[in-house]
């Protein structure tokens, strides 16, 4: 019989001992250091730099980065556990860590030259936040219909264009940005570049005022004759579409982890509240209708968690995981919306006000069906693989 970890509620048969300890330590940090800041960060739509520095000290900003570069040298699965635990308290913080690990660091680890790794991985592991700049006003789901251009110049490229919806834009010092060097070639002209904050011609623009995950900055980026040396190309010229596709496949697992974290946080609040709240002379949790709703939510959450974990394990084992990544993101985002909505419902009027945490988790959950590939895009991927 499988027993649950008292710290995480995750069946011990699912996690190895080091994974149990890691998940529990991240959750303890989130409870002690993040939970007191959640309301303020949401209201002011800002994450304190002191908290970001603590995340670096905790070691969750460079989980897969080898120890030789100052990172933890751990697995992708550890990144997933960190994002889940942090998102249980605040999905905004989970997202910051997710983008840092599953998108930015992963892209550099896989596609970066020795020079790029030497230059950027130590910074990403210890002090510098990263951002991943792909989306534009006219290229969301159709990600490769980008208008940003890169023109060859002596020793490098001049980039011109605008990016939108860029997570970590306010905090980041290192940006992986995509531009097309040969529009006539279509997506085969897309190239990935590493751009530093402060580069001439590069500006971090307006920050979006969002429904949820408000402490996570979402910004526009402006490139006006921004010169990027040829050494800053990530991967090969014209092969940026491969960098984008393969990195985003991993990133979707991270978003799945964020969603199951948000759902787990909401479910825990709902369970505790229904035990305390009394109506008609007894606790809400004594009513069978409430019990069944909680049981259904718990079952869906466990299924979503196992989908996410399976996709992460396949990725670490270097086995195909495209279908599993799409499935886990699709289902976990649906479950997160359902479970957080149920939590608000069970809280009644209290669930609709900001004094209680479930209202925020409900707002935070909606984005899971939108970014890093909408639910319709995930369905399309699953259907293509299913039908051959």
Q: Is 183 helix (H, G, I), strand (E, B) or coil?
A: helix
The residue to which tokens 């897309």 are assigned: 190
CA pair distance 119, 81, nearest whole angstrom: 27
List the catalytic residue out of 171, 300, 324, 372: 372
Kindly list the distances between the CA atom of residue 216 and the CA atoms of 111, 150, 377, in Å, as whole numbers in the listed order: 26, 29, 24
The residue to which tokens 């609709």 are assigned: 352
Q: What are phi and psi of 58, to 5 degrees?
A: -70, -25
Has 372 been annotated as catalytic?
Answer: yes
Q: Is the separation of the CB atoms in 368 and 333 below 8 Å?
A: yes
CA pair distance 312, 309, nearest whole angstrom: 5
**Residue 137 tokens, joined:** 């006003």
Which residues, 6 or more positions from 141, have their beta carbon under 8 angstroms from its beta carbon? 373, 374, 376, 377
**Residue 5 tokens, joined:** 């970890």
The size of the chain, in residues, is 388
Q: Which of 206, 173, 313 is nearest to 257 (CA)?
A: 313
Helix, strand, coil abundance in the chain, percent, nearest 5:
60, 15, 25
Q: Which residues of 94-109 are buried (b: 16+ CB within 10 A; e: fewer)?
A: bbbbbbbbbbbbbbbb
**Residue 235 tokens, joined:** 């991967």
Strands 172-180 and 129-133: parallel
Q: Is 277 helix (H, G, I), strand (E, B) or coil?
A: coil
CA pair distance 290, 99, nearest whole angstrom: 36
Q: Which of 255, 248, 260 is nearest to 337 (CA)?
A: 260
End-to-end CA distance of the chain: 39
Give the catalytic positions in this structure.
372
């Amino acid at each position: 019989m499988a027993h649950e970890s008292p710290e995480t509620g995750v069946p011990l048969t699912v996690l190895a001992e080091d994974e149990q300890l890691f998940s529990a330590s991240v959750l303890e940090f989130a409870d002690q250091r993040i939970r007191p800041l959640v309301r303020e960060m949401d209201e002011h739509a800002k994450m304190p730099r002191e908290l970001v520095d603590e995340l670096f000290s905790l070691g969750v900003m460079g989980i897969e980065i080898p120890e030789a570069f100052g990172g933890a040298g751990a697995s992708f699965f550890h990144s997933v556990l960190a994002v889940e635990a942090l998102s249980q308290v605040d999905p905004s913080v989970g997202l910051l860590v997710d983008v840092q690990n599953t998108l930015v660091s992963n892209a550099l680890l896989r596609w970066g030259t020795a020079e790029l790794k030497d230059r950027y991985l130590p910074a990403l592991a210890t002090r510098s936040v990263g951002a991943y700049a792909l989306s534009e006003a006219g290229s969301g789901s159709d990600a490769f219909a980008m208008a940003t251009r890169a023109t060859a110049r002596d020793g490098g490229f001049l980039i011109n264009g605008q990016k939108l919806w860029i997570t970590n834009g306010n905090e980041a010092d290192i940006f992986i940005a995509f531009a097309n060097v040969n529009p006539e070639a279509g997506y085969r002209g897309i190239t990935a570049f590493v751009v530093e904050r402060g580069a001439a011609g590069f500006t971090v623009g307006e920050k979006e005022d969002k429904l949820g995950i408000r402490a996570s900055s979402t910004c526009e980026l402006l490139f006006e004759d921004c010169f990027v040396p040829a050494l800053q190309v990530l991967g090969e010229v014209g092969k940026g579409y491969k960098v984008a596709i393969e990195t985003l496949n991993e990133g979707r697992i991270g978003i799945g982890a964020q969603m199951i974290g948000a759902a787990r946080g909401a479910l825990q609040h709902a369970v505790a509240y229904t035990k305390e709240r009394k109506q008609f002379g007894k606790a809400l949790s004594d009513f069978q209708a409430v019990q069944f709703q909680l049981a259904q939510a718990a079952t869906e959450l466990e299924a979503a968690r196992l989908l996410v974990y399976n996709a992460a394990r396949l990725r670490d084992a270097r086995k195909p995981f495209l279908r599993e990544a799409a499935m886990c993101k699709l289902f976990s985002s649906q479950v997160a919306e359902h479970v957080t909505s149920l939590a608000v419902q069970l809280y009644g009027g209290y669930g609709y006000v900001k004094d209680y945490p479930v209202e925020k988790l409900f707002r935070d959950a909606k984005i899971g069906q939108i970014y890093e590939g909408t639910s319709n895009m995930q369905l399309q991927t699953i259907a293509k693989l299913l039908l051959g």
